[in-house]
Structure 1
Amino acid sequence: MDMEFLRKLPTPQELKEQFPVSNKVMQIKEERDKEIRDIFSGKSDKLILVIGPCSADHEDAVIDYISRLRKVQEKVSDKIFMIPRIYTNKPRTIGVGYKGMLHQPDPEKESDMLKGIIAIRQLHKRAIEETEFTCADEMLYPENHRYLSDLLSYVAVGARSVEDQQHRLTASGVGIPAGMKNPTGGDISVMMNSIIAAQSGHTFLYRGWEVKTKGNPYAHAILRGYVDKFGRNIPNYHYEDLQHLLEQYDGKDLQNPAVIIDTNHSNSGKNYLEQIRISKDIMHSCKVSPEIHNLVKGLMIESYIEDGNQKVGDHCYGKSITDPCLGWEKTEQLIYELADLW
């Protein structure tokens, strides 16, 4: 094996013991997890917003951003339930570039995985302590989920990972809603198969243990658009796409049929400003079809303090160093508009 073994990292249990959570944090997570389950099961009709930066790059800016979300959440709490995005892993299409805080807690320095696992735990922990928001992260590396498992309320399995067996089996045992994205090529059957797998129980190898899961009844679809064979971005958030997803759910023995719609990525053609129009278009589909309204549980929106994105090292506070995001003023206005439309 042509690998250089650098050092043994702490296990999730060791890291949790070193950076424990308080009883208050555990209570907040328990209460929020219940409310999220109620939304996915249909007991609550609130709209979920999985909202925040494309990737969490600087701790203070991320906390500043979600502190602003907290003030808005209090004003729209009768209609909207926010789950801030604190995405500490960044999938790379060609494998190179900034891979997220897990790899580089300082984007301008070399990778340091020990500092990284500490940094992501401290960031998610600080978010709950200061804002009472439990957050979402992408489960890019299934074996790392347990570093954050007592802090997260939502995980997403990305378009490049959704066909991977380890992601599907781990999603079956995370104990929180897991969104399974359609693959980059757009095959909805791949996403549906991943939901079936995640809702089923399994026995498998995980972090050196033989483990058994009962299945995740809150595994669900995420539509994010796709890229066709000619390299064109093709959206799949329209009314007809949602009707097609309803048909795909019909007849399958799945619990809590649901979809979260990603308003960026291939749905927006990577034009971040389109997220505003797309969000309202989805609200219209929900208005004209009770079945679609029941299926759509929320939106995924990429948003930060400043519009757009920048290169690593440009040092513009609160501006994405990965994909471009909606700035704060546009985000705040959009949230109020969505509350009125829902």
Structure 2
Amino acid sequence: MNIKFIKKLPTPGEIINELPLSAELKKIKNEIDDEIRQVFIGESSKFIVVIGPCSADREDSVLEYISRLARVQEKVKDTLIIIPRVYTNKPRTTGEGYKGMVHQPDPNKEPNIEEGIKAIRKLHIKALSEGHLVTADEMLYPENYSYLADLLSYVAIGARSVENQQHRLTVSGMDIPVGMKNPTSGDITVMLNSVMAAQLSHNFVYNGYEVSTMGNPLTHTILRGAVDFYGRNIPNYHYENLQELVNAYEERGLANPAILVDTNHSNSMKKFYEQPRIAKEVLFSRKWDSKLKTMIKGLMIESYLVEGKQDLYGGVYGKSITDPCLGWEDSEKLIYYIAENV
């Protein structure tokens, strides 16, 4: 076996004991989690906006971004629930490049997984304590979820992970909303199969234990666009795409049918500045059709303090070092537009 064992990592329990969530913050999180749950079970008409950097690359700029979101949330609280993207694991198509804070708590230094785990836990705690906003992350590694299980309020399963059995089974044991993205092929049956699997109960191996789960009825779909045979991006946020997904949901009879639309990635043709236009089209489709209004629960938007992207050593505070993002001014305007048009 060509693996070098560097060191044994602390258990999730040890990390949580070292960096606990206070009773006061647990109360705040539980209250917001209940609000979010009401949206996904159809008992609230509020709209979900999952927004933030492509990857959470440094604590200070991410927390400043969240502090700005918190002020906006107060103004739109009657219609929107804003959930900051604090994505601490970054999937890489070719395996090259920055893989997120869990690997490198400082992007300019060598990987250090133990310090990375502590850094991402601290960041999620500070987001809640300083902004009183609950957070979203992508579950790139199912075994790592245990380190953040008491902190996250929304989880996304990416296009390259959605067919993976361990991801599906792990989601079946979670009690928060989890969005399954369509795979890069765009096949919505794969996405719906994943939702169905996660809504069922299972017995399997997890972190060295035999475990059983109850199933997660809050698992739902995320449309993120696709890539065709020739590597070209194909959007799937248009009215006819949304209708097809609604019809497929109805044929399946899954619990709590819900859709989020990712306004970036293949939906934007990798053009981050198209996100406001895409969001507006989705909102128009939602107004046009009563089923879409019921089932489209939110949007996912990539946004940071400074628009665009830079290389790893660019040095611009609050500018993405992975995928390009909307800047703050355009993001703030978009949030207010969404609040006025849901």
Above 0.5 in TM-score? yes
Residue segments in structure 1 that go unaligned for 5+ positions in a row: none
Residues 260-299 of structure 1: matches in 2 within 5 Å? 260-299=260-299
3-state SS of paired residue (1:136):
strand
Hey, what's the Cα distance between the residues in 2 that align with 1:337 and 1:148?
32
- In the alignment, the residues of structure 1 paired with residue 149 and residue 134 of structure 2 have an alpha-carbon distance, to the nearest angstrom, of 11
Alpha-carbon RMSD across the aligned residues, in angstroms, is 0.6
1:335 aligned partner, one-letter code: I
The 5 A counterparts of 1:191-340 are 191-340=191-340
Q: Which residue identity is paired with 1:141? A: Y
Following superposition, the deviation at residue 25 of structure 1 comes to 1.1
Q: SS of the counterpart of 1:103?
A: coil
Amino acid at match of 1:316: V
TM-superposed CA distance for 1:251, in Å, is 2.5
For residues 106 and 146 of structure 1, the distance between their equivalents in structure 2, rounded to whole angstroms, comes to 22
1:180 counterpart = 2:152: no
Match of 1:118 in 2: 118
Q: CA deviation at 1:28?
A: 1.1
User: How many Å separate the matches in 2 of 1:251 and 1:233?
Assistant: 28
Match of 1:162 in 2: 162
Partners of 1:75 and 1:69 lie apart in 2 by: 10
Counterpart AA for 1:185: S
Match of 2:80 in 1: 80
Matched residue count: 342
CA apart distance, 1:231: 1.0
Matched residues in 2 for 1:80 and 1:102: separation?
A: 30
Q: Deviations over 1:231-253 (max 9, x none)?
A: 11000001100100011101313
Aligned mates of 2:120, 2:198 — CA distance in 1: 25
Give the C-alpha shift of residue 305 in structure 1: 0.2
| Structure 1 residue 283 displacement after superposition | 0.5
* Partner of residue 58, structure 2: 58
The runs of at least 4 consecutive aligned structure 1 residues that moved more than 6 Å come to none
SS at match of 2:312: coil
Match of 2:143 in 1: 143
Q: Percent identity?
A: 60
Q: After the TM superposition, which residues 21-36 of structure 1 pair with which residues of structure 2 at under 5 Å, given as runs?
A: 21-36=21-36
Q: Aligned partner of 2:12: which letter?
A: P
Deviations 1:100-157 (A, max 9, x none): 0000001111100011000000000111111111100000000000100110000000
Deviation readout 1:6-48 (Å, 9 max, x if unpaired): 0000010110011111001110111111111100111111110
Whole-angstrom distance in 1 between the partners of 2:252 and 2:28: 34
Q: Distance in 2 between the 1:79 and 1:26 partners?
A: 24
Is residue 41 of structure 1 aligned with residue 41 of structure 2?
Answer: yes
- What is the distance in 2 between the residues matched to 1:8 and 1:88? 21
C-alpha distance in 2 between matches for 1:297 and 1:235: 19
**Deviation of the 1:221 alpha carbon:** 0.2
TM-score w.r.t. the length of structure 2 is 0.99
2:102 partner amino acid? L
Q: Give how far 1:276 is off.
A: 0.5
2:110 corresponds to which letter in structure 1?
A: E
Cα distance in 1 for partners of 2:159, 2:142 equals 14
The one-letter code of the counterpart of 1:96 is E
Instruction: Classify the secondary structure of the residue corresponding to 2:308.
Output: coil
| Alpha-carbon distance between aligned partners in 2 of 1:169 and 1:187, rounded to the nearest angstrom | 20
Counterpart Cα distance in 1 of 2:123 and 2:71: 19
Q: Secondary structure at the match of 1:124?
A: helix
Q: Does 1:13 align with 2:13?
A: yes
- Paired residue for 1:105? 105
